[in-house]
Structure 1
Amino acid sequence: MPLSFLRRPRWLACLFLLTALIAGGRAFHLDDQARIWLRELTLSEAERAASIWLPGYQAVIQAKPLAGLDEDETSDLSYSPTSGTLFTVTGRNPKLVELSLSGEVLRSIPLRGFANPEGVAVLADGHLAITDERRRTLAIFTLDAQTREIDVAQTQEIDLGFPDSGNKGFEGVAWDPARQRLLLGKERSPLSVFSWPGNGATRFAGRMQPLPNDSLGLRNLSALSVDPRTGHTLVLSAQSRLLLELDEEGEPVSFISLIGGFNGLDNSIPRAEGVAIDEQGTIYMVSEPNLFYVFRRGGEAAAEG
């Protein structure tokens, strides 16, 4: 019997193992993360110091249930520097929900006439914006301590286009105060990020302009946030299970893996749907089913709120 025949099962076993490793890596989206990790290695110390630098972050609050929202599905997250609080929206029973920085529900405001709110952004001068994926609109309105409900008919509602997007429309929205522009992220098919110049209130100039996104390498886009310190953008992807930092030119800088065992996470984040960052650099995240997370540089103690 030829010796090659005896060796064949070993080669087949190695081939099977290699195939399994590749398939497993794709299942956990490690191929996306490995590509960005290789880019991280090329950054100088000066470039890292001038960035958010996500590898230095650790989870300090994990999977905290958002009380009273058991039957809702939270989506997106935005930080208000004026109130020092966070805002998210729910889709199943449309609401705008205000949270403390430690994940306590402060108030829930019904959204009348909204079909599927997916994104929320704190703008300027008391204005907020909500994207409705099913209606394909952006609704702009003012909010104060006396607001008890928000009726879409009383907002400034703008058609975002893409009539054939279905359930793959605009999920991410974030205000960039330094550049005076609104960023809007289309979930997929195709995944896109748009820039729209404006005054952070009721006036936006011209049309949305697509930004380069060939280097993102993400499977979907769940949320956007702009760091007020560096001007860098955070892009959240539930399907790729990562949070990506982009520089001013839209190039990847660093990332956080949302898989258990990385960045201090005990368990994987189930489906990350919203991210926000404050002026101290603390990162906040919400995930289905209504879980709250906080990440801090070096894992410092969590904020009180």
Structure 2
Amino acid sequence: MATAPNSSLNPARRPRFGLRWYIWLLLVVVAYGVAFAMHWDSRGVLWVKEQFKSPAERQASIWLPDYRAVIDAKLLPGMEKDEASDLAYDPQTKTLFSVMGKNPFLVELTLQGDVLRKMPLVGWSNPEGVTVLGNGLLAIVDERQHLITIVKVDANTRELNIADFPKYDLGPSKDQNKAFEGVTWDARNQRMMLGEERPPALFVWNGDGKTLTGDKVKLASHALDMRNLSALAIDPRTGHMLVLSADSHLLLELDKKGEQVSFITLLRGFNGLKNTIPRAEGVTMDEEGNLYMVSEPNLFYRFEKQR
């Protein structure tokens, strides 16, 4: 009596469930690896927490989810090879100052991203951070030289020489090539906030807006769940801090206690962005709550809150 062929013994007819299972497993592992590297799991937790914030809590914060890009990837002409590295707002001149890291320059911009002047930074190696102290004083961080320099800029300034200004040694970093990159002046508390790129860390250095006193002190923070730290800014209205990460495509809001409040992702399709911001390196905010960013190599962004 003939019997039906046993498919389990016939390799040609055996289902390829094993291969499919391995492919799905590989996809899951890769997806998890990307999510872990980008900290999407943490962003998901924060997104859930955002949903439970009351209207009063949102009103008392910057509340980044309400922001939309109104100037998207505007080119800064003639700076394609300079690499925009940071951005700071000056409330006295109502203009922006940006540093170029590859070819050291200080650039003054309008709030619409138009170039007013370009000032060579003589003696700097790799300026990566800039902040406005007031009364024409700015602080510039050189990541390669591990220095912070306080400079004076007025309407007649055309060039700055590092030898003419006071300098402060930032000391060694765990990774000397990924050292101090973020800086912002906290006027309310008369202190300089400094950010180390990788691993992300925050430091505070007391001062009076003209000089720094003592030494920098590292802050304990568990909120910097990002791949790197690119820039810092203080909201003059709430006192909350903005922390930017180019590698994580993320802008994070921290409250005065250093706790996460809100965030936006800097990817295509989110918050009015037509395309992903390629490498966001600078952020600042004016007294009206408008948000400004620069990205390598020479892109300018302006975000406004949708009320």
| TM-score, normalised by the number of residues in structure 2 | 0.90
Tell me if the contact between 2:285 and 2:292 (Cα under 8 Å) persists in the aligned partners: yes
- Alpha-carbon displacement from aligned partner over 1:161-197 (angstroms, at most 9, x marks no partner): 0166422111100011111111010101x32111112
Find the partner of 1:199 among 200, 204, 208: 208
Q: CA offset at residue 52 of structure 1?
A: 0.2
Q: Secondary structure at the match of 2:68?
A: strand
Cα distance in structure 1, aligned partners of 2:190 and 2:260: 22
In the alignment, what sits opposite 2:158?
148
Larger of the two Rg values belongs to structure? 2
Cα distance in structure 1, aligned partners of 2:30 and 2:122: 49
Cα distance in structure 2, aligned partners of 1:13 and 1:91: 43
- Alpha-carbon displacement from aligned partner over 1:72-101 (angstroms, at most 9, x marks no partner): 111010000000000011122211000110
Cα distance in structure 2, aligned partners of 1:243 and 1:212: 20
Cα distance in structure 1, aligned partners of 2:206 and 2:105: 27
Tell me if the contact between 2:251 and 2:266 (Cα under 8 Å) persists in the aligned partners: yes
Q: CA offset at residue 45 of structure 1?
A: 2.4
Find the partner of 1:18 among 18, 22, 28: 28
- Pairing 1:90–2:96 present: no
- Pairing 1:251–2:259 present: yes
Find the partner of 1:130 among 106, 120, 140: 140
In the alignment, what sits opposite 1:303?
none
Tell me if the contact between 2:144 and 2:177 (Cα under 8 Å) persists in the aligned partners: yes
In the alignment, what sits opposite 1:34?
44
**Partner AA of 2:84 in structure 1:** T
- Pairing 1:215–2:223 present: yes
Tell me if the contact between 1:125 and 1:201 (Cα under 8 Å) persists in the aligned partners: no
| Mapping for residues 221-232 of structure 1, pairs under 5 Å | 221-232=229-240
**Partner AA of 2:195 in structure 1:** G
Q: CA offset at residue 32 of structure 1?
A: 4.5
Q: CA offset at residue 139 of structure 1?
A: 0.4
Cα distance in structure 1, aligned partners of 2:116 and 2:235: 24
Cα distance in structure 1, aligned partners of 2:269 and 2:203: 33
Using a 3 Å threshold, how does the CA distance of structure 1 residues 151 and 19 change in structure 2: closer, same or farther? same
Q: Secondary structure at the match of 1:174?
A: strand
Q: CA offset at residue 292 of structure 1?
A: 0.4
In the alignment, what sits opposite 1:286?
294
Using a 3 Å threshold, how does the CA distance of structure 1 residues 72 and 32 change in structure 2: closer, same or farther? farther
Q: Secondary structure at the match of 1:243?
A: strand
| Structure 1 stretches lacking a partner, 5+ long | 301-305
Higher relative contact order at CA 8 Å, sep ≥6: structure 1 or structure 2? 1
Using a 3 Å threshold, how does the CA distance of structure 1 residues 24 and 296 change in structure 2: closer, same or farther? same
| Mapping for residues 184-195 of structure 1, pairs under 5 Å | 184-188=194-198, 190-195=199-204
Find the partner of 1:99 among 109, 118, 122: 109
Q: CA offset at residue 24 of structure 1?
A: 4.5
- Pairing 1:47–2:57 present: yes
Tell me if the contact between 2:37 and 2:227 (Cα under 8 Å) persists in the aligned partners: no
**Partner AA of 2:130 in structure 1:** V
Cα distance in structure 2, aligned partners of 1:198 and 1:259: 37
**Partner AA of 2:293 in structure 1:** M
- Pairing 1:265–2:278 present: no
In the alignment, what sits opposite 2:242?
234
Cα distance in structure 2, aligned partners of 1:210 and 1:24: 30
- Pairing 1:120–2:164 present: no
Q: CA offset at residue 200 of structure 1?
A: 1.1
Cα distance in structure 1, aligned partners of 2:137 and 2:228: 28
Tell me if the contact between 2:244 and 2:280 (Cα under 8 Å) persists in the aligned partners: yes
Q: CA offset at residue 40 of structure 1?
A: 2.1
Find the partner of 2:73 among 44, 58, 63: 63
| Structure 2 stretches lacking a partner, 5+ long | 1-6, 9-13
Which stretch of the first structure deviates more once superposed, 9-18 or 134-143? Answer: 9-18
Q: Secondary structure at the match of 1:128?
A: strand
